[in-house]
Structure 1
Amino acid sequence: MSEENLRIVVTTDPAGVIVASVAGELDIVSAEQLRNLLRRVLVEHTDIVLDLSEVTFCDCSGLRVLRAAGRAAEHAGTRLRLRSPSTAMDRILKATRAEAAFTIEPPPNA
Structure 2
Amino acid sequence: MTDSDEICSVTPRRIPSGPYVVEVVGELDHHTAHYLSEAVNDAPFGDEGVVLDLSGLTYCDSTGITALITAYQRAQATGSPLGLAGVSADQMRVFQVVGLDQVFTFHPTTEEAIEALRRG
Give RMSD over aligned pairs: 1.7
CA distance in 2, matches of 1:97, 1:55: 19
* Deviation larger for 49-58 or 14-23: 14-23
Q: Mind listing any 5+ residue stretches in structure 2 that lack a counterpart?
A: 113-120
- Structure 1 segment 64-103 matched on structure 2, within 5 A: 64-103=66-105
- Structure 1 segment 39-50 matched on structure 2, within 5 A: 39-41=41-43, 44-46=44-46, 47-50=49-52
CA distance in 1, matches of 2:57, 2:89: 8
CA distance in 1, matches of 2:39, 2:16: 21
Offset of residue 80 of structure 1: 1.1
Shift of the 88–8 alpha-carbon distance from structure 1 to 2, 3 Å rule, reads farther
Percent identity, aligned pairs only?
29
1:57 is aligned to 2:59: yes
CA distance in 2, matches of 1:55, 1:88: 11
Q: Which residue identity does 1:52 align to in structure 2?
A: L
Q: Which runs of 4+ in 1 moved over 3 A?
A: none
